Amino acid sequence: MTNPRRIQDGLGFFGTFLGKPGSVGAVLPSTRYLARALVGRLEMQPGELVVEYGPGTGPMTTVVRELLPKTARYLGVELEPKFHELLTRRFPQMDFHLGNAADIVQILAARGLPRPQRILSGLPFASLPAKVQDAVVDGIVECLGEGGDFRTFQYMHAYGMKSARRFRALMAERFANFERIGPVIRNLPPAFVLRYWGARRAIR
């Protein structure tokens, strides 16, 4: 991303943070270094789906656009109308849903999309209320495809916070496997990438 765009995004992002600190949860967009660590390798088969929660101004989306095979599919789910509008303008060949990541099961069904093989999340779990954390995690476990994984990040300085620990405890109950990557220090603030796979779905 060019510097003027980074500055423009940074200012717009900060303005939105001031209005909605809880749901935006960061003062600046992520850097390319964190985005690359979060996205990882994208070896998707034709028709397979990648979902991104909370793309914001699109730093992770930029990396997905570079790495995702043309035959695979992408859906971004963004709650903030200003970011949603910017994303649809900036990435015209990608799909974005204006709405809540907690509603992922209904969103996928309404769009006729398959279970995602990867869910990438920029959601600020540590600053989300417990009820919202629970609803989003339920949705992830419910919809993730067989063999698929979920990736998110947590800032180093907030890693020990009660709500951050709560989120990880919840994920540990719902997933068989966990990997922590980093810290990625070339991000402001530095952050860990968390990867979960082997969802424990309730047997119905």
Interaction site with ligand SAM (CB under 6 A): 23-26, 29-30, 53-56, 59-60, 77-80, 83, 100-102, 122-124
Nearest approach in angstroms of CB 159 to ligand SAM is: 15
Nearer Cβ to ligand SAM (32/147): 32
For residue 98, which phi and psi values (nearest 5 degrees)?
-85, 110
Q: Which is nearer to ligand SAM, 20 or 176 (CB)?
A: 20
Give 176 or 185: the residue with its C-beta nearer to ligand SAM: 185
> How near is the Cβ of 91 to ligand SAM at its closest, in Å?
13
CA distance 114 to 144: 9
Q: Residue 80 Cβ, how far from ligand SAM at the closest point, in Å? A: 4
Nearer to ligand SAM, 19 or 47 (CB): 19
Residue 178 backbone phi and psi in degrees, to 5: -145, 140
Q: What is the DSSP string of 134-193?
A: HHHHHHHHHHPPTT-EEEEEEEGGGTTSHHHHHHHHHHHHHEEEEEEEEEE-SSSS-EEE
Strands (E), 6-104: 49-53, 73-78, 95-98
- Supply the minimum distance, in Å, between the C-beta of residue 54 and ligand SAM: 2
